[in-house]
A and B are shown apart, each in its own frame.
Chain A
Amino acid sequence: MDMNKEQLNVFLEMSTVLTAFSEYELKGTGQLEAYFNTVVEIVGQGIMDELLNAFAEVKKIANNNEAILNKQLRFQLLSNDKLGPITRNIIKMWFIGSWYQLPNAWRENYGESQKDITFVVSANSFIEGLLWPSIDSHPPGAKAPGYGTWTNKPQITEL
């Protein structure tokens, strides 16, 4: 797929706000393009454009104020009938590597895609889920920390 580089950057920036992981960490998963493509393949380029434009608008209003950014993200994206479920799915992809079928109400109102089923994006996306580093752990069955490490106190600090 021919990905618009500028759009990909906006998607990345939006993802840093949604996940509280840095661009560096998100890129490090190797999943950025896969998640961007998954959204476009399922909801279409038009809705992706709307989503990214809405985020650009949020950013403009926030003008680097984090509190306003978070509030506007709720107003413009997360509480929006059309964009909210997609935004939440993007969060879920980053944390666990799966796409979840959109709610029925969304599918009725904004079009059903045959591809909109619950699935694991790829073996690597499961392995790269950010849920696990969030709890100083690793995905079950991958990135094992080594013999006996489990006996030590986890290194978890509140953000």
Chain B
Amino acid sequence: MRHLKRVVTHQTVLEKEYDVVVVGSGISGSIIASELSQKGYKILILEAGPGKDLTLAGYEKYLNHFYTATSKDNNAPYKRNPNAPMPRSVDVKKKEPGKPNTDSYLVQNGPFISDFTYSRVVGGTTMHFESKLPRMLPEDFNILSTYGHGLDWPIQYKDLMPYYRKAEFEMGVSGDVSTQTFSKQKAYADDYVFPMQEMPPSYLDKCVAKDVDGAEVKLAGETYALKIRTFPQGRNGIPNKNYKKFNNGELFTPVGAVSEHQVEEGERCQGNNNCTPICPVQAKYDGRKTLAKALGTGNVDILPQTVASRVVIDPNTGKVDQIIYKSYQELDSEEHTTGTIKAKLFVLAANAVENARLMLASGLNSSSDQMGRNLMDHPYILTWALLPEIAGTTRGTICTSGISDLRNGDFRSKQAAFAVDIHNDGWGWATGGAETNLLNIVDNQNKFGKDLRNELVHQISKQLLLANMVEMMPDPKNRITVDPKYVDRLGNPRPIVTMEIPEYTMEGISFARQLSKSIFQRLGAEDHSKYDPMDYGYLEYKGEGYAIRGGNHLAGTHIMGTNADNSVVDRNQKSWDHKNLYLVGAGSMPTIGTSNTTLTLAALCFMSVDEMVKDLEA
């Protein structure tokens, strides 16, 4: 595929007419560009970050940047870019009383300080996401009417089902449908299978399962038997023969590395244990795989290093007239030019925070005043222990299995549901990884030679980290705002985050912590979890302290609803206020349940395409 030829200049853009302008080349923007371009529509994508990673060489620069980075955080593969900055966990600091934290890209107003991140590069945050791809549960769509918390969706699970299938095809899901049976309703057609077989569970998973499977948990009058099961993942594995009937009689073909030339990479996961921040062989799905398909149609152009700066509304029609952008040549220079782009249809696909930021920076709060509000993420409480046996930790994908039994149940009228990941990469997320152990063994335990090596095995190969991902409901008070006081180098307003973890979620966090204690007891594992009051994410609840981590599952900021008074977009992610504007991605989701958001937002994008086509035909 000749992707680079589709990276165009501003001069070219001026001379062409586009049907659709898409802001952002992440998964949402790429799906929409791919689907519409296959129907012949002319699309222009504006991407704030650099566009060099459409070649294998460009991707390998990212990889090298990761290898040589002293901090291997989610955005470690990318050079700092003050023209389109991105949040990095290494920049997060504890809140100072009485004033917001302002010295990194996200202005944090508190009271809760989150270390959530996203990536402003071609491919967006899917570049670093783990690619765990569970569907939401049928119950999640009616959570308010069923359990009295959160919001009901304007659509039902069954409306989204065919689009979930499309998303699972697009992202190449490996998994076993029979592990996904914790809904009380029918969530999959009887014979449905995922495109590829499940990722084999890790040896660590099996060490945990042998003592945890069958453990009973009593909650709100119901008894749940725990079972360690694999997660569906967007990662290349072995195609499932039974998928043929869902793929015109053909075996699913895994999508390999994105490149200008044929390369033998990306065909099957090799177990690099590095899905986050970067899969070195591109066996993991990322948005560029869909983008490459879009560019391959010849109907899509992409303008990298071009930051959408303002959405301009025609006062007579209420429609979007144009987008004003700022385009820069170099990452280390603030020099830029300003221009405008027109099209029939505009799609903002820049993620939940950036979509809201751009609209608010344009003075477009939405007639519902919900723009930027209802900001959600999945707060994580990490718990970690040392197993009594060597479990081979640090091998496999970042996570192959976990506990999903407490994702649903009547207890949701009282407390948040949660899912538990077994982290094959060990304690890294909580403690800094194997490097931390090494430094401690050398500097404090004073070991060298054989003793050092034996101690490494003892301290690392027995590590078990459970990442408890807890449900968080929409609350208009949790929000993104902007203020002309806080701008980035190009003068674009920076997002201001105001977030508080609701009591409903804290109840879930507290329960998850207790469950981990009980699991560690069953396993005979030493509980090493500790939460430092000086930690930026430290919160106390009912006398116990917790250090909470961001999940990067940002959602809710342009919430979907039934009318212009209660929401920003309709069921097709179309703006109620501006009839030629779509705001797409997790920002449209009214709730996020206990599902990592990407599969659902991908399904929503496939669904919206049908409506966009109607608009374009009209």
Interface members, chain A 97-143 (any B CB < 8 Å): 98, 100, 118-120, 122-123, 126-127, 131-132, 134-138, 140-142
Q: Of all chain A residues, which has the CB nearest B281?
A: A144
Segment from B43-51, B455-463, B536-544, B602-610 that makes contact with A? B455-463
B324 close to A (CB within 8 Å): no
**A147 B268 Cβ-Cβ under 8 A:** yes
Q: Roughly how many angstroms separate A123 CA and B72 CA in the complex, as a whole number?
A: 13
Chain A to chain B: the 7 pairs with minimum beta-carbon distance, closest first: A150-B396, A144-B270, A154-B392, A141-B274, A123-B67, A151-B200, A150-B395
- 30 interchain pairs, CB-CB under 8 A: A17-B449, A20-B452, A92-B442, A95-B438, A96-B438, A100-B439, A120-B67, A120-B68, A131-B434, A134-B453, A134-B456, A135-B457, A135-B460, A136-B392, A140-B72, A140-B433, A141-B63, A141-B280, A142-B272, A142-B274, A147-B268, A147-B270, A149-B271, A150-B202, A150-B203, A150-B392, A150-B400, A151-B396, A152-B203, A159-B450
Q: Roughly how many angstroms separate A70 CA and B270 CA in the complex, as a whole number?
A: 40
Taking the nearest CB of chain A, how far is it from the CB of B342, in angstroms?
43
B66 close to A (CB within 8 Å): yes
Taking the nearest CB of chain B, how far is it from the CB of A101, in angstroms?
10
Contacts of A137 in B (CB 8 A): 273, 392, 394-395, 461
Q: Roughly how many angstroms separate A100 CA and B206 CA in the complex, as a whole number?
A: 37
* Band of interface residues on A: 35 or more
Query: Number of residues in B with C-beta < 8 Å to the partner?
Result: 53
Contacts of B67 in A (CB 8 A): 120, 123, 126-127, 141-142
Interface members, chain B 264-289 (any A CB < 8 Å): 268-274, 278, 280-281
Contacting A140 at CB < 8 Å: which of B201, B274, B439, B450? B274
B532 close to A (CB within 8 Å): no
Contacts of B64 in A (CB 8 A): 123
| Residues A140 and B425 in contact in the complex (CB < 8 Å), given A92-B439, A151-B203 | yes
A26 close to B (CB within 8 Å): no
Contacts of A123 in B (CB 8 A): 64, 67-68
Interface members, chain B 418-471 (any A CB < 8 Å): 424-425, 433-435, 438-439, 442-443, 446, 448-450, 452-454, 456-457, 460-461
Contacting A158 at CB < 8 Å: which of B203, B448, B457? B457
Q: Tell me the B residues contacting A by CB distance below 8 Å.
A: 63-64, 66-70, 72, 200-203, 206, 237-238, 268-274, 278, 280-281, 390, 392-397, 400, 424-425, 433-435, 438-439, 442-443, 446, 448-450, 452-454, 456-457, 460-461
Q: Tell me the A residues contacting B by CB distance below 8 Å.
A: 17-20, 70, 73, 78, 88, 91-92, 95-96, 98, 100, 118-120, 122-123, 126-127, 131-132, 134-138, 140-142, 144-154, 156, 158-159
Q: Of all chain A residues, which has the CB nearest B459?
A: A135
**B280 A142 Cβ-Cβ under 8 A:** yes
Contacting B68 at CB < 8 Å: which of A17, A73, A122, A135? A122
**A88 B63 Cβ-Cβ under 8 A:** no
A136-B461, A150-B397, A154-B392 are known; give 6 further A-B pairs, CB within 8 A: A135-B457, A135-B460, A137-B395, A141-B272, A141-B278, A150-B200
Q: Of all chain B residues, which has the CB nearest A133?
A: B453
Contacts of B272 in A (CB 8 A): 138, 140-142, 144
Chain B, interface SS category: loop
Contacts of B237 in A (CB 8 A): 147
Q: Roughly how many angstroms separate A156 CA and B457 CA in the complex, as a whole number?
A: 8
Contacts of B206 in A (CB 8 A): 151
| Residues A88 and B442 in contact in the complex (CB < 8 Å), given A156-B390, A158-B454 | yes
Contacts of A150 in B (CB 8 A): 200, 202-203, 271, 392, 395-397, 400, 424
**B448 A18 Cβ-Cβ under 8 A:** yes
Q: Roughly how many angstroms separate A138 CA and B270 CA in the complex, as a whole number?
A: 11
Which residue, B201, B272, B425, has most C-beta atoms of chain A within 10 A? Answer: B272
Taking the nearest CB of chain B, how far is it from the CB of A12, in angstroms?
15
Taking the nearest CB of chain B, how far is it from the CB of A48, in angstroms?
19
